[in-house]
Structure 1
Amino acid sequence: MRMRYWLLLLLVLCSFPLSVFGGDYVIGEGDALDIAVWGVKELNFPVRVRPDGKITVPGLGEVVASGSTPSQLQTHLAGRLKELVKNPIVTVTVREITNSKVYIFGSGVKANVYDLSRRTTLLQLLCMLPEVKTADLRNAYLLRDGKKLKVDLHRLFIQGDTTQDLVIETNDSLFVPLLTDRSVYVLGAVNMPKSIEYREGMKVMEAILEAGGFTKFADQNDVVVRRKEGEQSRSLEVKAKKLFKEGDLSQNIDLKAGDYVLVKEAFF
């Protein structure tokens, strides 16, 4: 009796690796399974789930496997096999996963379908996308069951905030748009008005210095950063003298791609 208990426990433990995506894996069409009934050699066999979602089990015929977790299928088979085997102990192991996929789309990356053959996090998935550095991660999002998940891809991938990471699940969709404007524009009373390729972490004074610095006519306390956010625009005031003379670092604001830095002239 004790030996039977330990064997049953071992068989249950062997099925644990199937819970790889945050919950029990759901069997789908094309998946390869190993079915085993303890003590019945004829009922130990490999099988692949057909496109109709069914498998063929000796003595039972066709059985629907798609849509069930391995534990649910084990319970179902054990119930049906009671007519053929006394107290059947059934195990179902997913040997090959072909049903678990994540869909990547959007103009910022190459559209693709990735097979999730192992536990994969959102950060790991982003690292597999070579175009992600030129994508608009601030406006990217993850879809699950038709709903946007509250996760900040920019904070995760660019700023390294791993609290934003999560485990990808079957049929998740990742939308990544293209960053259409990758420049910062410095205009007005600077020595070399120009567009500058945006770099992560770029500050307003860094951009002004790259544009040759202030002219002698510039009003250093009248700098405006104009930023478009969705359909709206906002203006951020910068007082450079407070930064230089008082060390007020709050004036040296972070820029975003597409920002316009306008340095106004002083009136004498």
Structure 2
Amino acid sequence: MLVIMLLPLGVLAKDYVIGDGDTLSISVWGSPELSLSVTVRPDGKISVPAVGEIKASGLTPKELTAVLEKEVSRVVKTPIVTVIVTAMTNYRIFVAGKGVESGGDTSGNRSGAHLLTRETTLLEFLSQLGSLRNADLANAYLVRDRKKIKTGFYRLFEKGDYSQDIVLEPNDMLFIPDNFEHRINVVGAVTHPTTLSYREGLTVMDVILLAGGFTEFAKENDVEVVRRKENGESTKITVKAKDLMKGDLSKNVAIMPGDVVVVKESLF
């Protein structure tokens, strides 16, 4: 069961768990001789001057800071210690869904585990995934600790709405479905019959304009929106687009995922 949770956007990954192979920057304020950059050994320990061997693997930076402050207090009065993870080896992000494909590589998609070496935002990660032309970003989501995180993939990646960006945390899972079932087909007497990706707010007139507008043979007051129901049956909605263009926008039908817009053609 997934629980939808709102998190402040732009929150740092404070609960990162240090692992073997991580590189740490340790600073002791006022004592540069005790400050160092160190890599966590395979046994999970680090060596700190004047302190000795310290178990770092399995701790968060905050927890390791508390341990170091206690140990360093034997040689420095009231020490102020800072621990920063500068290179990560325990920072894995998982991607699932058919909407992700590798850039230029048609042999498969980019689903699976991705190892990151530094703190990475959602936008940075999406930019590294390759082509997203088949991705249904409007219905993509992130799962963290079995909770669905509410953030707008489409508004972030397509619209540049940085308020939707978040810092990814270890073991986050991104689910990115494909957009095949949600594509909009515009056919008939339009300049460029086309297939469009669905996005919220599209109307009949929007998709006709995106298809280049009517041809000279179009029956502008005989446009059909073919919509498939959940039971598999189809329904047809007739739209008088010519009347819409005269200013009567009250009947400008909203487009739904999977709609087919048919502009009928007049032979005379």
Do they superpose with TM above 0.5?
Answer: yes
Deviation, 1:25, is 4.8
Following superposition of structure 1 onto structure 2, how do residues 103-122 of structure 1 map, counting pairs within 5 Å?
A: 103-109=94-100, 110-111=110-111, 113-118=114-119, 120-122=120-122
Return 5+ residue gaps in structure 2 as ranges: 1-9, 101-109
CA drift of 1:136 comes to 1.4
Q: 1:52 to 1:213 in 2, by over 3 A?
A: farther
Task: Report if aligned partners of 2:72, 2:79 keep a CA contact under 8 Å in 1.
Answer: no
Is 1:177 the counterpart of 2:177? The answer is yes
Report percent identity of matched pairs.
Answer: 42
Q: 1:30 to 1:229 in 2, by over 3 A?
A: farther
Contact 1:208 1:214 in 2 (8 A): no
Residue in 2 aligned with 1:87?
A: 77
* Count of aligned residue pairs for this structure pair: 237
Aligned equivalents of 2:173, 2:161: Cα separation in 1:
21
Partner of 1:63: 54
Shift in Å at residue 184 of structure 1? 0.1
- The counterpart of 1:33, out of the listed 24, 28, 33, is 24
Paired letter, 2:116: D
Q: Distance in 2 between matches of 1:232 and 1:61?
A: 73
Whole-Å separation in 2 of the counterparts to 1:222 and 1:164: 37
Aligned to 1:214: 218
TM-score, normalising length: structure 1: 0.65
Report how far residue 243 of structure 1 moved: 0.4
Give yes or no for contact 2:218–2:264 (8 Å, CA) kept in 1.
Answer: no
**CA contact under 8 A between 1:32 and 1:97: conserved in structure 2?**
yes
Task: Flag the 1:251–1:54 CA change in 2: closer, same or farther, 3 A.
Answer: farther
Query: CA separation in 1, counterparts of 2:179 and 2:140?
Result: 10
Equivalent of 2:208 in 196, 205, 208: 205
SS in 1 for 2:224: strand
Distance 1:169 1:69 in 2: 13
Matches of 2:166 and 2:234, distance apart in 1 = 32
2-structure distance, mates of 1:22, 1:77: 21
Cα offset for 1:229?
A: 7.6
Cα shift at 1:138: 2.0
Separation in 2, partners of 1:234, 1:34: 63
Which residue of structure 1 lines up, in the alignment, with residue 241 of structure 2?
240
For the residue of structure 2 that corresponds to 1:177, the secondary structure is coil
Instruction: Tell whether the 8 Å contact from 1:228 to 1:258 is kept in structure 2 after alignment.
Output: no
Q: 1:51 to 1:180 in 2, by over 3 A?
A: farther
How far has the Cα of 1:31 moved from its partner?
0.9
Gaps of 5+ in 1: 1-18
Deviations 1:162-204 (A, max 9, x none): 3333222232222212222545053xxx558x96222676824
Give CA deviations for 1:92-117 in whole Å, capped at 9, x if unaligned: 34343333332333222123514151
